[in-house]
Amino acid sequence: MKKKVLAALVSAAMVSSLLVGCGSSTGDTAAATAATTAAAAAATSAAATEATAASNDLLTGTEFEGVTAKEAYNFSVIVKSFQSTYWQAAITGMDMAKEELGITYDAQGPNSESDIADQVNMLNSAISAKPAGIALAACDTKSVLDSLQSAKDASIPVVCFDTGVADAPDGSVVATVATDNTAAGSVAADKMYEILKDKIASADGQVRIGEVNQDATALNIQQRGLGFINELIKLVTADGKTVAVAGNEYYVNAAEGANGDEASADVVIEVAVPAQTTVDLCNTEASKIMSKEDTIGIFGSNQTSAEGVLAANNNLGVLNADPSKGMIGIGFDAGSVIKAAITDGTMAGAVTQSPLLMGYYSIYAMTMAANGDKVEDFPMNGYWYDTTNMTDSQIAPNLYD
C-alpha cells in the first residue's frame, strides 16, 4: 500500500514536472516565434516602405521594369535551408516583390543544406501541386535534373536563384537569378593579392594561402572556390612567381594554370573541405591551415566556412586586417559574427552577395514567366566590403545579421 502511494506520488510529480517542462518550452517557442515574426515583419515593412519609394530605382534599366502580374499567381519557393540568415534576407526580398505585384508564394526548405534528398522530395511535391511557377535554390545541382524535366512536362516555369543548374533539361529553367560566383570568388582573390602583394614579393621562402570551401558538390561553391583559386594563380604567375594548389582533390584537379609543385612553389594555395557543412568541422579544417607557420592568408568561401575561420581564430589569434601584424582573413556573405570581425579589425573584409535583391528579382522573373513573357538570365555582382564602406547605401542593405 505504502509503495502504491509512493508510486502514485512519484508519477504525479513526474507528470507535473513534465507539464512544467512542456509549458516552459512551448512558452519559449511561442515567444521566440513571436519575436522572430515581429522582427521579420518590422524588417519587411521597413524594406517595403523603402521599396515603394525606391522600387523604380531597383527595377530601372532591368528587364523587370514595368512588369505587372496578369493574375494573382501562387508560386512555390524552395530554398536550400533556413540554416543561415542569408536565406531569411532572400525571403525579405521576395516579400517586397510580393507586395508590389500582389502575388502569393509558399516558401520551404530542408533542415540543412546537406539534406539533398529532402529537397528533391519537396521539389517533387511542389510540382504535383501545380503552382504558377517555382523558384529553386538547388542544394545539389545534379539531383534536381529529373524533377526539372517533370516540371517542364507539367509546363511549370522554374526560376533558379542563388545557384544555377548547368545541365538543366532544355527549356525547363526559364531564367537564373544568381550571383556570378566565379566573378565573386575572383573579387576575393583580387583583394587578397592586393593586400598581400608586397609580402609575397619579399618572402624568403614558401608562403601559403588557404581556402575553406564547405563542400565540393554545389555549383556555386565550386565556382566561387575555383574563381578564387584561378584568379590568384593568374595574379601570382603574372608577377613571375610559381604557384601550386594542394589539399582537396576536386579543387586541385579543377584548378587551371598552376605552374609549380607543392614542395617548391613560391605560393601554395591549400584548399580544405569538411566532411559536413557545419561551423565546427570548418573550424577544424581552418585550424589545420592557419596553424602552419607559412600561412599568410585564408579565404572562407561562404558564411559557414568564414565563421569556421573565425572560430579557429578564437584559439589561434593570428588574423589581423593589417598584413604586417598577422594573417589576412577574407570572408564571404555577412551575418553578425563576420560583420563584427571586420569592424574590429580581425578580418580584412568580405565579399557579399545581395540575397535580398536576389529574392526580389526572382519573384519578378517568375511573374514574367507566368505572364508568358520571355525572361533573360539575371547575373548579379559580388561586392567587396570592409570597414571603409560597410555603411554605404549600396552595401549596407545586403549585410544581414
Partner 1 sequence: MKKSKVDLKKLGTQKYIVLIVLIALYIFFCIASKTFRKPTTLISLLDMSFYYVIMAIGVAFPIMTGGVDLSIGTGVICYALFGGTLVRNMGAPVWVGILVAIIFGVGIGLLNGILVAVMNLPPFLATLCTSMITRGLGSMCKATPWPTGQQDGAWFHNIFKITLADNTKIPVGFLIVVAAALIMGYVLNHTRVGRYTLAIGSNKEATMLSGVNVKFYHIMAYVICGLFAGMASIAYASAIPTVQPGTGAGMELDAIGGAIVGGVSTAGGIGTIGGTVFGAYVICLLKVGLPFIGLQAYWQQIITGIILIGAVMIDIVKKRRAQF
Across 315-401, the runs of DSSP E, i.e. the strands, are: 328-332, 349-352, 378-380, 383-385
198 binds partner 1 (CB under 8 A): no
User: Which residue lies nearer to partner 1 by CB, 26 or 52?
Assistant: 26
Q: Rounded to the nearest whole angstrom, what is the least distance from the CB of residue 370 to partner 1 in the complex?
A: 30
Contacts of 229 (CB under 8 A, 6+ apart): 185, 189, 211, 245, 251, 255, 269, 271
Whose CA is closest to 221, among 286, 137, 144, 301?
301
User: Which residue lies nearer to partner 1 by CB, 133 or 247?
Assistant: 247
315 binds partner 1 (CB under 8 A): yes
Tell me the C-alpha distance between 92 and 400, whole Å. Answer: 11
Q: Rounded to the nearest whole angstrom, what is the least distance from the CB of residue 269 to partner 1 in the complex?
A: 15
Map residues 233-252 to x or -, x wherever contact with partner 1 holds by CB under 8 A.
Answer: ---------------xx---
User: Which residue lies nearer to partner 1 by CB, 100 or 162?
Assistant: 162
Q: How far is the CA of 4 from the CAs of 7, 17, 18, 236, 300, in angstroms?
A: 5, 20, 21, 81, 62
Q: Which of 8, 12, 18, 41 binds partner 1 (CB under 8 A)?
A: 18
User: How far does CA 235 lie from the centroid of its chain?
Assistant: 26
279 binds partner 1 (CB under 8 A): yes
Q: What is the side-by-side order of every strand in the sheet holding 207-212? A: 243-247, 267-272, 207-212, 295-300, 328-332, 349-352, 383-385
Map residues 23-62 to x or -, x wherever contact with partner 1 holds by CB under 8 A.
Answer: -xx--xx-xxx-xx--x-----------------------
Tell me the C-alpha distance between 233 and 128, whole Å. Answer: 47
| C-alpha cell, 27 | 512558452
Binders in 56-115 for partner 1, by CB under 8 A? 81-85, 88, 110-112, 115
**Residues forming the site for partner 1 (CB under 8 A):** 7, 10, 14, 17-18, 21-22, 24-25, 28-29, 31-33, 35-36, 39, 81-85, 88, 110-112, 115, 248-249, 272-276, 278-281, 283-285, 287-288, 291-293, 304, 307, 310-312, 314-317, 335-337, 340, 344
